[in-house]
Amino acid sequence: MKFFIDTAEVDAIKALIPSGFVDGVTTNPTLIARSGRNIKEVIQEICALTDGPVSAEVTALDTKGMIEEGKRVADWADNVCVKLPLTWAGLEATNALSSQGIPINVTLCFSANQALLAAKAGATFISPFIGRLDDIGEDGCDLIAEIRVIYDNYGFDTQILAASIRSLEHMENCALIGADVATAPPSVIRDMAGHELTDKGLAAFMKDWEKTGQSIL
Ligand code: G3P
């Protein structure tokens, strides 16, 4: 399972690089706005930090505008992945840009039918938003499971990129279901390492070690 980092905060991504867990990065207009930075500058800086795909979202709403913006964004760095919304225009733009070899992440997916269309249009990644489905009383992870079945039924190579991940439970469930990628905020990735019994066990080991008066170096 690949881990993408869902942020436009360059320092937060830098801090995660030594872990080896940064397989890519996803951004969206909200995250860019939150960073307070220029989109081209921030995307280029992030692209220099990782060889993995870095999703940058277009903001045009019509097919022609999305294609133009998508081409522009794809020129910013070799590892840019153009992010397009799951609208009819977004699917047309996915079809046009993917047939020119430009990798596409189709975002804002909330149904299995939408995911099926994105795969047929040639998306490299489909981004189902699981947290936002939970917000309206559904189980977002059920959608990941449905898409997994559909893509496996037909051998689509579009990768399931679970997005809007907010909890450790989301991460665990996505891994159990077989999402290809999970994109999560840095805090969620870091929290995955924690367990109360690890902390307790380590404290006990250190207490006993002190009693020996030894040092390894
Ligand atoms: O990956 C999509 C993500 O940025 C949206 O997350 O928590 O705003 O639903 P959220």
Ligand 1 atom at minimum distance from 164 CA: 6
Atom 2 of ligand 1: nearest residue by CA position: 164
Please give the radius of gyration of the chain, using alpha carbons only, rounded to the nearest integer: 20
- Quote the tokens at residue 196: 């109360």
Contact 75, 46 (CB under 8 A): no
pTM over 0.85: yes
Listed in sequence order, the residues at least 6 apart from 217 whose beta carbon sits closer than 8 Å to its beta carbon are: none
* Span 175-195, pLDDT tens digits: 999 999 999 999 999 999 999
| Per-residue pLDDT at 145 | 98
Active site residues: 83
Q: How far is the CA of 56 from the centre of ligand 1 (A)?
A: 14
* Sign of the C-alpha dihedral computed for residues 151, 154, 155 and 157 taken in this order: negative
- Quote the tokens at residue 67: 């294609």
| Per-residue pLDDT at 137 | 98
Atom 3 of ligand 1: nearest residue by CA position: 164
* Span 87-122, pLDDT tens digits: 999 999 999 999 999 999 999 999 999 999 999 999
